Chain A
Amino acid sequence: MGATDVSNPRYYHKVVDCQWACPAHTNVPGYLRLIAQGRYDDSYLLNRESNVFPGILGRTCDRPCEPACRRGRVEEKPVAICRLKRVAADNRGDIRDRLPKAPSKKNGKRVALVGAGPASLTVANDLLPLGYDVTIYERNAQPGGLMRVNIPAFRLPASVLDEECGYIIDMGANMRYGTPVESLKSLLAEGYDAVFVGSGAPKGKELDIPGRWDAPEQVHIGIEWLANVHFGHIDKIGERVLIIGVGNTAMDCCRTAKRVGAKDVKVVARRGRKYFKASPWELEDAEEEQVEIVENHAPKRFVVENGKLVGLEFERLQWTEDAKGKQSSTVIETVVMPCDAVILAIGQDNAFPWIERDLGVDFDAKGMPVVDKATHQSSKPDVFFGGDAAWGPENIIWAVAHGHAAAISIDLHCQGKPVAERPPEGMSLVSAKMGMHSWAYENDYDAAKRAKMQHEALEKRFSGIGIEVELGYTPEQAAREVQRCLNCDIQTHFTAPLCIECDACVDVCPTNCLTITTNSSPIDELRTRLSAPALNLAQELYVSAELPQTRRVMVKDEDVCLHCGLCAERCPTAAWDMRTFDLQLPYAGQVSR
């Protein structure tokens, strides 16, 4: 194996599992350390640089970072990254004077954003400080998009949404509320230099089985029903409710149903729990509210008697897996579950009836726009897509990531530069050594278990639709939880020419990450003969340059490194050093001038 190139930011970035997994590449260990120091404002602002909505995402994020968290491989549960993000948001002071500001002198370029959801707001956040004139078209009367109308207020209070959307809008975005865009052609005719489509995936999927249209007033589409509850158009539902589908929308629907009068709520899934789309914590929260989750039932027929929906017939399935891992089902029996209402939460579709097909914006066979994965540019150079509108439903943090990338493209496009020439990622790597065995981070391992989120008492939370269930961590809980972070951004940096091969690092490593051995190819062979076999193929092996005395190499399996720094503390020659890695992400305007 050749020596690993750690001068490429990708290598150390990948070691920071949470940051690597986050679509917006938020510097998680960095902001957690700031929380540990009680610097909530700084933590919030560091967080906001990349993910724009720490308060919102601290309550609602799908948390791709947490399953990736190294702590989850070292012990049972990952660091509660998402809810710690909320701690910084909840405890921050007034940070408005530290936010980016739009210059009084504009750059003369006008950009239209369709939809005021997270993708568009991120684009606005990045372009307004550069002097762009930004106009946002929104069909509703308030900003936020699906964050506002589809995420129930008991999970995300309106005040949080208002404040964080306000930070962006108050930079001087022109808001056109109550103005759905009905024609891209006429929008373009207004002479915008670029248009960004962040209109989401606003159409709920249908379930076309017999009886669907026999009692339509008792059957609801999940996201539409949630929006109707939000706007106050719906304030009650039948006693027995079946939710079809088991994604996060289904979780919001079942818990909302409980708050508008349903007594017996069942969520019915075609497959087993292992395959549920809903996040495990959302399932737990629903079950805490006595929602029943039913597995392996496929809807077959709406049972309607005398024009009234009385139940839903299901086929109970048994799933088997063949040798290739392909799943197939057989029907065991047919069952009818009585109900008074059904909510369909089986997915969302995109809809672009407002984009004329002769404008030069190409669509594929499935009716989706053809969008470049890196630049977000459509086949019409001045039209960009992001968020759910680009490639179908994802989650908020993906929309934010899209917004940042699209803003770079829009900026390059408006400055007459090729959008494909993306500004590179950078990094800084600074020794964390502060003195003899003293580091710029807390390197001791804290064996604390993941802190439990306190919830509002059950009887109280059903007394109103907008009562927030999660109460947030107490300062004591937060202080303990941040110490669970392994500081993966404090990298173990090796300088091969300094090594005297004394084995001190190999001996002291608590998780057998290090090996001094003869080099070999391929890497899979090397993986088998390390201090502990490197079985997690998703994790990199670091291979050093040849060591001076024996021409062997130092190999590090990144998988379960605790970043405790003992290798560096035991190293007599400082061949191992702990260095703080800071990924420098490109944002719009940073290199285009």
Chain B
Amino acid sequence: MTSIAKPPVRHPSSRTNGLGLTLRDYEGAMSTLCAGCGHDSVTAALVQAAWELDLEPHRAAKMSGIGCSSKTTAYFMKQSHGFNAVHGRMPSVTSGAAAANRDLTYIGISGDGDSLSIGLGQMSHAIRRNVNMLYVLENNGVYGLTKGQFSASADIGSTSKKGEANEQAPIDPVLLALTLGATFVARSFSGDKKQLVPILKAGIAHKGFALVDVISPCVSFNDHEGSTKSYAYTREHEVEVVHADFVPLRREITVPETNEDVSVVQLHDGGSVRLRATAPDYDPTDRDSAYAHVRACQARHEIATGLLFVDETGRDMHDMMRTVPTPLIDVPFERLCPGSAALDKLMDRFR
């Protein structure tokens, strides 16, 4: 929380992107989150990613539910569409929005409470439907807005600010998404934008549901010594398993691909992701291998980060539902709403 708005002044050498916009043009309202909140860094990474992608702000929709995390959507891309849904219901609302207008870029922001407790079912089914969206899960292990109770992602043995230890098993959104068939699964850290920004860009470019679990420390209630989601703990235990570089379609790749370990995944929009596994036997395109590796890291108290799994061949919601190829707004009214005679005819088929 700050006392003033960000001054409308730019660095004299600030650059513009392909749309002629500066980074500042992708900002939103001033954050009212606590000073030092990881979520504000995620916001900054989203601003950076959208700017670098030349994302047209008016062609994006920011979706969220309830919680500290869900306030994030107010803090970037002030010229975009947005919907602040009921607690945990963001995935369903986004499914509906995406069904109606498949041409917008959907950026959903949620948290460990919104996604793993009240909205667990909602998120799971959005993954199954493979809604074409970026799903950022700002994960801090506590309910910050209600003053620091354990959330469903809190690790066994991690303590609250007062010292009480958590005894319930955590839900790991990465493992969950892998088992539910997600086609893009990543984990990153709000304190590491070098890793986070390319992942966000790849997630936006990915066709289908892109889950990015971001460890985003809560400075007020979960940044103490007993925490396993603090800045210090995350830095000590983070192991980058796969490093991802997002290469947009229009940029020519000038670096010769001499490195044997780099695998390139072509994205649906023509861009690509260059993946460099830092663990020798890791294959980010093999779901079982990814699952096993993340589990093994967990057993060693390591936090596996990076673009852990990607499958660009999956079918998204529109493919599966065989919907019209255009947004409903572009379907002529007579076709979209053919009248009561057509409805009667349809109803007759069910009699």
A interface with B by C-beta (< 8 Å): 73-75, 437-438, 443-445, 447, 500-504, 506-508, 510-513, 532-533, 535, 549-550, 560, 562, 564-566, 569-573
- B10, A572: Cβ atoms under 8 Å? no
A-facing mask of B231-263, CB < 8 A → 1, else 0? 110010000000000000000000000000000
Distance in Å: Cβ of B315 to nearest Cβ of chain A: 37
Q: Are A510 and B7 in contact (CB under 8 A)?
A: yes
Q: Which of A504, A506, A533, A569 contacts B3 (CB under 8 A)?
A: A569
Do B4 and A549 have beta carbons less than 8 Å apart?
Answer: no
Bound complex: CA of A512 vs CA of B51, how far in Å? 15
Q: Is the CB of A570 within 8 A of B3?
A: no
Q: A570, B40: Cβ atoms under 8 Å?
A: yes
Q: Smallest CB–CB gap between B331 and chain A, Å? A: 41
CB distance from A508 to the nearest CB of B (A): 7
The verdict on A503 contacting B1 (CB below 8 Å), with A511-B11, A535-B13, A571-B35 known, is no
Provide the residues of chain A in CB contact with B232, threshold 8 Å: 500, 549
List 16 additional A-B contacts (Cβ < 8 Å) besides A508-B40, A572-B36.
Answer: A74-B9, A444-B5, A445-B4, A501-B191, A501-B235, A502-B37, A503-B41, A503-B191, A503-B193, A504-B41, A507-B43, A508-B2, A510-B8, A510-B9, A564-B4, A570-B35
Cα–Cα, bound, A592→B61 (Å)? 71
Docked complex: B10-59 residues within 8 A CB-CB of A:
10-14, 24, 34-38, 40-41, 43-44
B9: chain A residues within 8 A (beta carbon): 74-75, 445, 510-511, 560, 562
Please, could you name 15 A-B residue pairs with CB atoms under 8 Å apart, sorted by A? A437-B2, A444-B7, A500-B36, A500-B231, A501-B235, A502-B36, A502-B217, A503-B191, A504-B37, A510-B6, A510-B10, A511-B9, A512-B11, A560-B9, A565-B4
The answer to whether B190 touches A532 (Cβ under 8 A) is no
CA distance A60 to B331 in the complex (A): 72
CB-CB under 8 A from A532, the residues of chain B are 11, 13-14
Inter-chain contact A507/B235, CB cutoff 8 Å: no
Chain B residues proximal to chain A, CB less than 8 Å? 1-14, 24, 34-38, 40-41, 43-44, 190-191, 193, 217, 219, 223, 231-232, 235
B235 touches A569 (CB 8 A): no
Interface centre among B7, B37, B43, B232 (most CB of A within 10 A): B7
Residue of A nearest to B231 (CB): A500
Q: Give the shortest distance, in Å, between B217 (CB) and chain A (any CB).
A: 7
| Complex contacts, A443 vs chain B, CB 8 Å | 3-4
How far is B41's CA from A512's CA once the two chains are assembled, in angstroms?
14
Residues of A within 8 A of B3 (CB): 437-438, 443-444, 569
Contacts A73-B12, A511-B10, A512-B11 given; does A437 touch B1 at CB 8 Å: yes
Whether A566 lies near B6 (C-beta < 8 A) is yes
Return A175 CB to nearest CB of chain B, in Å: 51
Q: Which residues of B contact A571 (CB under 8 A)?
A: 35-36
Q: Is the CB of B231 within 8 A of A501?
A: yes
Q: Is the CB of B40 within 8 A of A560?
A: no
Q: Do A504 and B40 have beta carbons less than 8 Å apart?
A: yes
Residues A570 and B36 in contact in the complex (CB < 8 Å), given A503-B41, A549-B235: yes
A88 CB, nearest partner CB in chain B, Å? 26
CA distance A566 to B1 in the complex (A): 10
Closest chain B CB from A23 CB (angstroms): 27
When C-beta atoms are compared, the residue in chain B nearest to A71 turns out to be B9
CB-CB < 8 A to A73: which residues of B?
12
**Which of A74, A507, A508, A550 has the most C-beta atoms of chain B within 10 angstroms of its own C-beta?**
A507
B44 CB contacts on chain A under 8 angstroms? 503, 506-507
A550 to B12, CA, bound (A): 30
Contacts of A510 in B (CB 8 A): 6-10, 24
Nearest B residue to A531, CB-CB: B11
Contact B1 A549 (CB under 8 A): no
A471 to B: closest C-beta gap in Å: 31
Q: Which residues of B contact A562 (CB under 8 A)?
A: 7, 9
Q: How far is the CB of A435 from chain B (nearest CB, A)?
A: 10
Among residues of A, the one whose C-beta sits closest to the C-beta of B5 is: A444
B10 nearest in chain A by CB position: A511
Supposing A502-B36, A533-B13, A571-B36 touch, asked if A550 and B235 sit within 8 A by C-beta, the answer is yes
Determine the chain A residues whose CB is within 8 A of the CB of B6 once the complex forms.
508, 510, 566
Instruction: Return A592 CB to nearest CB of chain B, in Å.
Output: 45
Which residues of A have CB within 8 Å of B34? 572
Cα A512 to Cα B24 in complex, Å, equals 10
A500 to B37, CA, bound (A): 11
> Which 9 A-B pairs give the minimum distances between C-beta atoms?
A572-B36, A445-B7, A437-B3, A507-B44, A532-B11, A569-B2, A572-B219, A444-B4, A502-B36
Chain A residue at smallest Cβ distance from B38: A502
Question: Closest B-chain residue to A575, C-beta based?
Answer: B36
Residues of A within 8 A of B219 (CB): 500, 502, 572
| Chain B contacts for A564, CB-based, 8 A | 4, 7
Are the CB atoms of A447 and B36 closer together than 8 Å? Answer: no
Closest to A550 in B: B235
Closest to A569 in B: B2
Interface centre among B11, B24, B43 (most CB of A within 10 A): B11
B155 to chain A, nearest CB (A): 20
Residues of A within 8 A of B41 (CB): 502-504, 507
Nearest CB on A from B141, distance (A): 16
CB distance from B299 to the nearest CB of A (A): 25
Bound together, the chains give a CA A75 to CA B7 distance in angstroms of: 12
- Report the minimum CB–CB distance from B37 to chain A (whole Å): 7
Residues of B within 8 A of A533 (CB): 13
Report the Cα distance A112→B196, complex, angstroms: 72
| Residues of the B chain whose Cβ atoms lie less than 8 Å from the Cβ of A508 | 2, 6, 40
